[in-house]
Amino acid sequence: MAEKTMVEAVRDALCDEMRRDERVFVLGEDVGGGGVFRATDGLRDEFGEDRCMDTPLAEAAIVGAAIGASINGLLPVAEIQFADFIHPAFDQIVSEAARLHYRSNGAWSCPITVRTPYGAGIHGGPYHSQSIEAFYAHVPGLKVICVASPYDAKGLLKSAIRDPNPVMFLEHKKAYRLFREEVPDEDYTIPIGVAATKREGNDMTLVTYGLMTRYSLEAADVVEGDDGTSVEVIDLRTVSPWDKECVLESVRKTGKALIVYEDNISGGFGAEVAATIAQDAFEFLDGPVTRIASPDVPLAPYSSVLEEQILPNPEKIADGIRKLAAF
């Protein structure tokens, strides 16, 4: 057991899986040199160029090659340098990888993992800040994971690589080195589609994922210390499939629901969570299902002042908790 950052946990998971199964290989832009965020640092030295493979700047080719390799018995981990650049591969991911098992009547599978850093908060401007999870959570046949803690990153990435069908693995870039936590050295996995209750509470359910989990935990601690409001914080970890029963059970207990996500508020994944709560737990609610998210503007401005203005943070989340608690 050692304390690791999230990017270190991602690297450990890749190393472990490449050692465990020689079919696993990594491909992407600059991965041989360690990548922009150093997530693949050292992989080429240990596993060679054939298993840590640099590619051209062509996202469609990266994912297309990964699909072809998977059909031929390999287990590719395709890195897209930034989530903002993944859209040229949309057709390969959505029309090919996600549908291969279905349209072959189960004869073929597509065991690829597509890793990419997403999210804002690092002053990256509109081409290095996007949240893309809602696009892909809409697609049957894709699993979509959003992590922002070292322990979850390692366990869920291992599960993604071992999954027989395509998995989108989204790593919040601001969380890569934001904090450390204990991560087991031994092998472990976390089931895809299972949420984690990161904080117990009785007065309100807060549903979130990614970096917003850490911000929500900070906000919940502040509000309970100030006002005594007890907030249960649920980290979805996976947005497709997502753990509806965990969320509904908590809302039935607390009677209030606040959903926090970084993406634009309209059409964000939190809207799906809100609709499910309103449909399946309406009679238990004693306040409106509420969302905190970014406004409907391009994420994110170059200006750090404007970026801070639009993004959710612990203070905004604490204010949202207080307003909902007052109903």
296: left (phi over 0), alpha (psi -120 to 50) or beta: beta
Q: Beta strands 196-199 and 238-240: pairing type?
A: unpaired
Identify whether 128 is a catalytic site residue.
yes
Q: Are 5 and 154 in contact (CB under 8 A)?
A: no
125: left (phi over 0), alpha (psi -120 to 50) or beta: left
Q: Are 59 and 85 in contact (CB under 8 A)?
A: yes
From the list 101, 128, 138, 172, the catalytic residue is: 128
Burial (CB < 10 A; 0-12, 13-18, 19+), residue 114, is buried
Q: Tell me the chain's radius of gyration from C-alpha atoms.
A: 20
Burial (CB < 10 A; 0-12, 13-18, 19+), residue 162, is middle
The residue with tokens 């450990």 is 12
Q: Beta strands 2-4 and 181-183: pairing type?
A: antiparallel
Catalytic machinery residues: 128
